[in-house]
Structures are given as structure tokens and as C-alpha cells.
Structure 1
Amino acid sequence: MAAWLRRRGRLEDALQLLRSAPATARVERQRGGLHLEYEEWAAARAAFEKSLVLDPRSVEAWHGMANALQGTGALEDADAALQRAIELDPAYAPAWVNRGALLRLLGRIEPALACFQRAVALGHDTPETANAVHGVLQDLGRPADALSGARALIERHPDFVPGHESLAHLLWEYGAMRSRGEDPLGAFRAAALARPGHRPMQLAFVRALVQTQRVDEALAWLHSLRRRAPEDPVLDWLTADAMDRLGHDGASALFAAAHRHLGNRSTEFLNAHARHAFRTGRMELARDCAQRALRLDPANQEAWGHLGIAWRLAGDAREHWLFDYARLIADLEIETPPGYADLAAFLSALRVTLDTLHLTAGQPMGQSVRNGSQTPGRLFGRDDAVLRAAESSLRASAEDWLAGLPHDPRHPFLRIQQRRVRIVGAWSVRLNASGRHANHIHNEGWMSSAFYVALPPSVCAPARPSTAGCLQFGQPMDELALDLPPRRIVHPKPGRLALFPSYMWHGTVPFDDSAPRLTIAFDIQPAS
């Protein structure tokens, strides 16, 4: 009965039924699965632990346990659980797929590829698995193979939206591999035209248009969609956002209409509405949207960033309580990792490694990079000695700095007492002349960073009066149309590490130099 209720989306009824059922291995597995759907990781883990006590050889329970552990950030423990599931049943393809995805998160790219290939060999040749393989091939520096596979995937599965998104990203970033005159969104557009009733396809294509700054086309597409579905609040929201970017009248009314349906359940919408409110000078509305978003998700980094800007515009001292530009921005030099004569030797070796990973010709879609490139996938975890040394040294520096901060249970950053951390994402950025990072925040982190590997001579020249190439804090994104100067400027130097809360607005000042500006960035969460 619980399975029947679950298939019909009645998750709470299914969970209530299982709570009153006798504790068997099967019942506990089902309870764990329901908790996973609610993203109740601790409860899911407890249920799978009980199931494994009753049936320690259950492949499904070990697989579920891995999902629960991954949800809490215990990635190595999750990998051990997946390995146990595979030991019990080497032909259980879902465990191979999940282990491939987990190893990719950990940066172990070649073993991840082997896991996905094993799943395919076992008959799990789904479009999702194929798309994951193409992502791993890109991580491995094989973009031509990734692109060839992505083209073949949408030929075989033209309705598979993630496949179209992956192909568009590859064509956008690796322009040299496009056919003459090929539009990176051409195949995506053709698929959307052929499937006017495929809502996920339509929405994904519109978002791709906006990410590539084709807002006029996105707006025209949305007008057509709204004629077919005039009461769809998501279409109202996306149309309002496109109109807002182009400075068209009517965006406020559409945002208000969408707010009646989405304002109590979507933090993404509330953040978009807050951005519109800033652009149109309605600061109280921006503050209200930010506060509503934080009631839904108290750890939402963008909402905290918006609330801090609203406080700043109102002259509210809580801006400085939240951002505390002097204390919550670190600017420190890392220790030289073991095995290197000095920091300069380490940075030289690190630069050589990073240069081999910057293969794209264009900036990534929907990111802060302007006139530069960003490495794909996860930088750390790869089988590379210099990257392992960098990860260890950077993590140690972050933990040392955190140990000196006070605890404040009311503060979104300082309320976390855990001083051991895990790196949840890492990448390298190489900016070219006139390149910069547009002002932004990091939604996936709790703490974020910038580590300087190599800088143009004009940026690191001593006693220079210019701020070119510097890291700036406190100036919100350009799209908010707020004339606010930065609150703090950090002058970069090779071997130095900047650390700051992920909700802190930050970006870089453009520079004019033939040599690139090479950095590593990573997001951090407290260790579980």
C-alpha cells in the first residue's frame, strides 16, 4: 500500500502508513526512500541503518544509505556504501551510475568514467548516463569526444532536455569545434520549435537564450508560449524578467501576478523579484522578497546578499553586522606545501598544471567570467600531485582562519561553529586582457575564495595607484542598477588567498595587460 501511495505522489500518507507498520527490513528501506524524497537526510540514514541491521546484505539499502550520506556531505562514506552495494551485486547498474556521479563530485574523473562505462555495459544505457559520460569526457580534456557524443545523444533522444543543454554549453565554450556558421543554440532551437507542447524543453531553451544574452529572442519566444498558456505563473515570471532586462514597461505587473502564485514557495522567484525591485527603486519590496526567501530557506546566499544591500540603502547598521568587511574577509598567504623549495616553485608548478586544463575558447554560459575561461568539472580530487598539494594547503589555511573567528548564533556565517571544512566545488579561472568577474555571490557555498596563482605584471606591481585586476567587495551586480561603490578593495598577490562568506558581493576590476590573471576559486561547507 505504501508503494502505491508513493507512486501517486502521496508521500506524506505513505510515510504515515510506514510509521505504523512493523519494523521489517523492507519497511525501513521504504521509509528511508521517502525521507530521501523529502531530503530529510538524517532520518533517511537512520531508516537505512535499521534496515541494514535486519538485512545487512540488502543492495537497495546500501544504495539508499549512500544517497543519505551524500545528502549530508559525507561523500567518502557514501562512496564506501556504494562500493559495498557493488560487492554484494556487481551487476546492480544503479550503484555503478551513482558511484560514477559521486566520484565525479570528488574530482576522481577517470574512475568516474569507468563506473559509467560499466553501467552501460550492464545495459543501463540511458540518456542520463550518456550525458554524464560526456561531462566526464569534458572534465578529462577530451571536448571533441564529448561534443561528438552530445550530438549523437540528441539524435537518439531528441526529447532529452539535459542533452540539448549540454550540447549548447559545449558549442558555446568550444567555439573552434563548431561547424562554419553554426549557432550554439541551433539544435536546441530546432528541438523546441518541433515540440511546442514540451514545457520543460521550452523553459530550458528560454533560459539558454537569456544566459547567452539573447533576451529579445527569449521575450519573443515567451510571448508565443504565453498565448498558449496565459495563466502560467512561471511564464509570467520569465517574461517579466526578460522585459526587465530590456527596460520594457509592464514587468512590474507581471512580477506581481507571478508573486501571487510563487511568492510563498519559490526562493528562486523571490530572488528574481528582489532584483527587479532594486532595478525599479522599490527598496522595501526588495527587502520583503529577501526576507520571504530566507523564511523558506534560511541559508539562501543570494537572499542574504539582497537583504544586506537593502539594509545598506536604508542606512541600516545591520549591513555591517552581516558583511563586516574588515573581519569577514581574509587576505592571507598560504604555507608552502611539502615537497617544494618555496612558494614561488609551488606556484610555478601549479600554473603549468592549470594551463593544461584551460582548453575552452569562450567564457562559460551563465557565469561571472567575462573575457576568460573556466575549467570544467571539479578541479580538486584529480590524480595530480600539485593539485592535491594545493587542495591540502588551501583547506588548512581556511580552517586556520576560521578557528580565529567568534561564534554568533544569530549570524548566517558565524553561527556555524564547525571549523573543519569540506570543499564542495573548485575551479580555475584565467582572465585575459580587459577580463573581469562580474559582481556576484556563490549560492552553493557557505564560504568562498580566490587564490592567486599568477598575475599580470601591471596587477602585482608594487605601490601601484591603480585598482586594475583587484578583488572588490560590497558592490552588487550590475543588473541591479544601483550606483554603489565597493566597500573594500583587496590587492591580489601571487600565493595569497582571499576568503569570505559566500553571500558577500564580490567581483574584479578589469585590467589591461597581455599576460593572463590565473586563479583558483572554491566553495566551502562545514564538514559533517
Structure 2
Amino acid sequence: MQNFKAALTAYNTKNFQKSLDIIDEFKLSNLDAHLLKAASLTALNKSDKAIEIYQFALKNSPKSTPLLENYTGLLCKLGDFISCLNLLNTTATTVSPKLTLNKLEALIKLGHLLEANKLVQLINTPTNLEFRFLWLKIELHEALGELDIIENIINKLPEAQQNNIYISYKRACNLRNMGRFNEALDLLLNIEKKKSTAPEVLYLIGCIYKDLNNNQQCERYLNQCLTIAPYYVPAHESLNKLYYSTKNNKLFLSSYKLVKQKYEPHPVIEHSFISQLIKSDSYESALDVSTNALKLFPNDQAILHAHSVVLGKLNDHEKAFNLLNQLVKKAPHESRYRIDLANYLIMNGDYINAIVQLESALKYDYFNQEVWAYLSTAWRLSANDKYHWLTNYDQYVKVFELKKPKGYSTSGQFFENFTDLLLNLHAHSTQLLDQSVRSGSQTEGHLLFRSNKLINDFKHSMNNCITSYLANLPKDQSHPLCSRNNNAFKVNGSWSVKLGNKGFHANHIHPAGWLSAPSYISLPNELNENDTNKSGWLKLGETCLNLKEREEIARSICPKTGQMIIFPSYIWHGTYPLKSTQPRLTVPCDVMPIL
């Protein structure tokens, strides 16, 4: 007992190694000793060894609440929410506040939002866990897109809690998503005055200055962020997007070069640098950087994959193919590697092996939209009946009329007002690195989260269309679209696109979606059903692989102002080039099921 107290004292005074030494020296092996040893290992960033201790202890004490609390808490910390939830569902026989909160966190992070929402209603937390419960409630409403509820929750908190740095930061994120940029900025600048130099705070300040079109202050804060956190990848990527959009070729990608000169090499920086070079079509430079990065980190899979992409861009397909083959063998669960390998197989006409790779990917990631997109192509080219089962354009592509919102005499009046709002947002938008838009602009952020009556009116009409679409889907528990339909949904992303003369969308799919739903807000007079060139029309089925005579446009649709077209996110789509001096204005969105 005395030895355990000594180990516990060492732990409480943050002498974690001494705590471990005492436990090992005196061979302490009861449950309390196992818990203390695992906690000490966790504090020393030896999580793998801590998990081994928890698993060993679990065999002898499978019903121990403290053991399950600590173990599932560590799994949450490590982001292994699947293991956490499985453990709680199969092992926990008693309920404690900590276990319940661990389960709630796992449900939220895994997107099981309906179950999480039910669980929230049942939770009564002790005082020492109130803050964590508050934080998880905010994260749940964030995941559901219920930003007004988050604002109401925070507004009802005592002033001391509202002024908590973490709550202030969370509220600033929420206000930014709502388009209330100045309020968000005021909160963050107050945090900064409290001498908080957390990179997340400086980064968000920089991003909000970009939202406010203050590029100078945006650049300043992003650079400040990188001064204190040189490996903070989001700041690098945002800063260089700024330089790219403002055509500052002299400074574009300079942040990576500076970090590489001043600090020790880091794989995340190398990978991000290569990715930005690829996006800017600088393939020769990307080859130099990726080749050197592999000398530093020869076993880093992300860098190896980026190198394979560069080789492909430079038409060294054999080397790229061989490298992807190696990656698939090393990491069979990684869908990305199998998708890229399948692309080469499709381009080479080896549809059978492409299907093998893609169907193998589904075993690990069944609802991956890219996997289904390329699988549809391989099935079509191999005359497989599953192509029609998956795509069935007549069944799954639907055109809806957006109903006139209340308070407007005509639909035309509403869409004219909405057009004015969107054009104002596009006034400061530019073509960015990572968009499918060509000769046009795309707004940033989640458009439909903004606090605005016109947007709210549009959302109401849009939601009615989506509800109608879901109500008419067939039942099929093996289908990637139909199997997740329980008539509950949320908009996962939304933006506006303005195409100019000769503008178009390159063929693409929406990896972050379930349904894709572009709405047509303002269209040029030239768009009409008799146009043989199909200027500005939507086309479905043609891939991004440039398969030439093997490509197929399965359906072309001439959209009309006030329409919304809904289809599965895995269906290939793009547009015919626009021939008009008038802009083509749309609001696309990604829709996800609430499960």
C-alpha cells in the first residue's frame, strides 16, 4: 500500500516516469496500479503502451467502471471513436457520467447524430463535468448545422462562462459561420488582448480578415500564426491561397520555403508543400520537392502517395502505377490508394482489376462517393448491369421548381433580390486553387449558414425540394444512396458559383456529399432547350479521366431559373462552356443524411 501511495504521489506531482519506476520496481499489479500505470504512460505520450495495459486489465476486470472510463477516455483523446463506441456497447454494464460523455463524443464524431441527440436529453452531469457536456452539446448542434441554437446556448450562460477563452473561441467560430464576421473578430481580438497566442486564435483572426476583404491584416495574422507554429499547415495553405488569388507570384509558396530553411524537416510540411505545387500545376517543382522529401521520410505514405500523383501528372505512369501498388499492399484499408490505382487500370482498359480494387475499398469505406463514382465508370465500360442499378438517371436525377417564398408577389421578384445578394458576395471572390470552376468565381464558407432573410427563405424552398426527393426514393439496403435514407438530412456545404463567358465546371463528383443539389438563381437569356451547343447546360456521366471515345454523357439538362436539380453525389457532372456576356449564377450544396 505504501509503495502505491508513493507512485500516486509521484504521479500527482507530475513525475510520471518515477511513478512508472515505482510500479515496476515493486511489481504492483492490482487494478489501481494498472490504472495509474496507464495514466502515467498516457502523460508521457506512450499511448500504445497505455492501451496494452488497459486491455490486459480489462481481461481481469471487465466490469470496472473506472477502468472503462479511463480507457474509453483515452480512445476519445486519440480519435479512435469506433473502438470507443464498440467497447462501450459490448462491455459497459453500468452507466456513469464519464462513460456517457465518452459515448456522446464518439457518437458525434462518428456522425451518429440522431442517437447523440437522444442521449443529450437523458444526461445529468455533475458539476465537475458540466463544461465538457456544454462543449459536446455545442459540437452536436454544430454537426447538425443548428447555429442559432448554439448562439442561444451561449447567450444563456453566466457571464463568467461566456468570457471563458474556449467558449469565446467556439462562439467566434459559430458567428463566423453565420456570416457575422465583425462580431466574431471582436471576440477573437479580445482573446488576443488576454495574451493568448494560440495558433488557432491567430489563424482564425487571419481568416476572418480575409472574409472582410482585408488582405493586409489577413496576411499579417497568418504570418504571426506561422511565427509561433511553423508547422501549422492550415495557416500555410490559407496564406498561399491568398497569394494565389491576389496573383502575388513572388510570395506564393514562400512560407514553406522559409520553414524548410529555418526549422527541422517535418513530413506534414513536405506533404502540404507538394499538394500546393500540384494544385498550381507546378509539376516539375513538385517532383523536385517530393523526391527530396522521400530522402528525408522514405516510409511516409502520404509523401509516397503525393509523389505518385506528381509522376502521373508528368506522364510517368509506369512508376506511378508501381508505387500505388506498393501503397495498396502496405495500407489495404486506404481508399485513396485503391482509387488512384483503379484510375490507371480503367485508363488501360483493365476494368476487371479496377473493379476488384474499388470493391475492395468498399469493404473499408462503403459510403465513399469517389469509390462509387469510379466503380460506376468501370461497370459501364465492362457492360456490367450494376451500372444501371447504381446510376439509374431516370430514378435518381430529378428536377424541381423552387417554390416562391412567402412575402414575395412573384418568384421572379425573389430571385432578382437573391441575385443581387449573391453578386455582392461575388464582388470579392476569385478563382481559387482547389475548385472545379473555370473562368468564374466561387464564394467561400458555408453560404446557407449566413444570417440573412433571403438565404433563410431560399433554404425553406430548397428543403421542401429535398424532402420531396427523399420521399420518393426506393428501398434498397445495399444501395449507397437509398440505404441511408431515413428522410432526415442536413446541408453539409453550400456556396455560390458565378460563371462568365466561356466559363464551365470541370467534370467532378462531390466526395463530401450524399446528394448534390445545384439551384439555378439567374441564367443568361442564351440558355435554351433549342441550343445545339448546349451553352451552360448541366451534363451528367462524363468523367475527369479524359477517356476520349470511351466517355459517355448519359444526360444533358438545360436548367431554368428557379429550378433545383438533385442527384447522388457520386454521379459525374460538369457543364458545357457558357457562351454569354451575362453571368450564370447558381447555389450548389452537398446534402448529408442525419443518421
Alignment TM-score, normalising by the size of structure 1: 0.88
1:309-320 alignment runs, 5 A limit: 309-320=377-388
CA distance in 1, matches of 2:192, 2:120: 27
TM superposition shift of 1:324: 0.9
1:232 has 2:282 as partner: no
Q: What corresponds to 1:90 in structure 2?
A: 162
**What secondary structure sits across from 1:457 in the alignment?**
coil
8 A Cα contact 2:528 2:558, kept in partner: no
Separation (CA, whole Å) in 2 of partners of 1:314 and 1:281: 9
SS class of match (2:592):
strand
Instruction: Please state if 1:9 is matched with 2:53.
Output: no
Q: Indicate if the aligned counterparts of 1:472 and 1:507 stay in contact, CA closer than 8 A.
A: yes
Secondary structure of 2:552's counterpart equals: coil
Aligned equivalents of 1:324, 1:37: Cα separation in 2: 33
Q: Report if aligned partners of 1:59, 1:85 keep a CA contact under 8 Å in 2.
A: no
Structure 2 partner of 1:405? 473
Q: Aligned runs of 1:214-229 on 2, under 5 Å?
A: 214-229=282-297
Query: Quick check: 1:502 aligned with 2:569?
Result: yes
Q: Which moved more, 1:58-67 or 1:404-413?
A: 58-67
> What SS is found at the alignment partner of 1:327?
helix
Q: Tell me which residue corresponds to 2:534.
A: 467
Structure-2 change in CA distance of 1:313 and 1:195 (3 Å) = farther
CA distance in 2, matches of 1:514, 1:327: 35
Counterpart-to-counterpart distance in 2, 1:361 and 1:390? 21
Change (3 A) 1:425 1:71: closer
Aligned residue number for residue 189 of structure 1: 257
Residue in structure 2 matched with residue 345 of structure 1 by the alignment: 413
1:336 CA displacement? 1.1
Alignment of 1:291-370 (within 5 A): 291-360=359-428, 362-370=430-438
Match of 2:543 in 1: 476
Give the CA RMSD over aligned residues.
3.2
Q: Give, as a single letter, the amino acid of the residue that structure 2 aligns with 1:28.
A: L
Match of 2:20 in 1: none
Structure 1 window deviating more from structure 2 (363-372 vs 280-289): it is 280-289
- Match in the other structure for 2:581: 514
1:185 & 1:245 partners in 2: Cα distance? 20
Select 1:173's aligned residue among 225, 234, 245: 245
Cα offset, 1:430, TM superposition = 0.9
Query: Matched residues in 1 for 2:373 and 2:505: separation?
Result: 17
- Partner residue, 2:331: 262
Instruction: Tell me the distance in 2 between the aligned counterparts of 1:78 and 1:12.
Output: 35
Q: Measure, in 1, the Cα distance between the counterparts of 2:546 and 2:273.
A: 21
What CA distance in whole angstroms lies between the structure 1 residues aligned with 2:108 and 2:400?
A: 42
More helix by share: 2
Q: Distance in 1 between matches of 2:150 and 2:63?
A: 26
Offset at residue 211 of structure 1 (A): 1.1
Separation in 1 of the partners of 2:109 and 2:493?
24
Which consecutive unaligned segments of at least 5 residues does structure 2 have?
A: 1-34, 67-93
Which whole-Å CA distance do the structure 1 matches of 2:63 and 2:419 have between them?
Answer: 56
Match of 2:201 in 1: 129
Deviation at 1:391, TM superposition (A): 1.7
| Structure 1 Cα separation of the partners of residues 133 and 536 of structure 2 | 51
In the TM superposition, what is the alpha-carbon distance from 1:166 to its structure 2 partner?
Answer: 0.7
* 2:267/2:297 contact within 8 Å kept: no
Deviates more, 1:67-76 or 1:183-192: 67-76
- The one-letter amino acid of 1:9's match is S
Distance 1:430 1:148, change over 3 A: farther
Contact persistence 1:379–1:427 (CA under 8 A):
yes
Give yes or no for contact 1:41–1:72 (8 Å, CA) kept in 2: no
- The answer to whether the 8 A contact 2:436-2:508 is kept is yes
Change (3 A) 1:327 1:6: farther
Give the SS at the match of 2:533: coil
AA of the residue aligned to 1:220: D
Specify the code of the residue in structure 2 equivalent to 1:526: P
* Deviation at residue 406 of structure 1 after TM alignment: 2.2
Cα gap change, 1:282 to 1:94, in 2 (>3 Å): farther
Give me the whole-angstrom Cα distance separating, in 1, the residues matched to 2:129 and 2:101.
16
CA distance in 2, matches of 1:497, 1:205: 38
AA paired with 1:485? E
Higher-Rg member (1/2): 2
Q: Any conservation in 1 of the 2:536–2:577 contact (CA below 8 Å)?
A: yes
Distance 1:39 1:219, change over 3 A: same
What amino acid maps onto 1:407 in structure 2? K
Name the residue aligned to 2:81: none
What pairs up with 1:135-214 in 2 under 5 angstroms? 135-175=207-247, 178=248, 182-195=250-263, 197-214=265-282
Maintained 8 Å contact 2:108/2:139: no
Deviations 1:173-210 (A, max 9, x none): 233xx3xx524223333333544621111110001111
Partner of 1:28: 99
1:364-443 alignment, distance < 5 Å: 364-443=432-511
Show the counterpart of 1:242.
310
Judge conservation of contact 1:448–1:501 (CA < 8 Å) in 2: yes
What is the distance in 1 between the residues matched to 2:489 and 2:102? Answer: 30
Go from structure 1 to structure 2 and tell me whether the alpha carbon gap of 1:366 and 1:285 turns closer, same or farther (over 3 Å shift).
farther
What do the CA deviations read for 1:393-428 (whole angstroms, capped 9, x no partner)? 112222122222222222111123322422121100
Matched position secondary structure for 1:430: strand
1:195–1:485 CA distance, 2 compared to 1 (3 A): farther
Contact 1:407 1:416 in 2 (8 A): no
Greater RCO (CA < 8 Å, at least 6 residues apart): 1
Distance 1:101 1:482 in 2: 48
Matched, 1:52 2:124: yes
SS at match of 2:494: strand
Q: Is this contact kept in 2: 1:471–1:509, CA < 8 A?
A: yes
1:3-49 Cα deviation digits (max 9, x unpaired): 44555324756595896225796743774588479748678888887
Q: Secondary structure at the match of 2:217?
A: helix
**C-alpha distance in 2 between matches for 1:463 and 1:482:** 25
In the TM superposition, what is the alpha-carbon distance from 1:128 to its structure 2 partner? 1.3
CA distance in 1, matches of 2:544, 2:497: 19
How big is the shift at 1:241? Answer: 1.5
2: CA distance, partners of 1:169 / 1:18? 51
Matched, 1:253 2:322: yes
Structure 1: segments with no counterpart, 5+ residues: none
Equivalent pair of 1:215/1:245 in contact (CA under 8 Å): yes
Question: How far is the alpha carbon of 1:80 from its aligned partner?
Answer: 5.8
Tell me which amino acid in the other structure corresponds to 1:483. Answer: R
Answer whether contact 1:36 1:68 (CA < 8 A) is retained. no
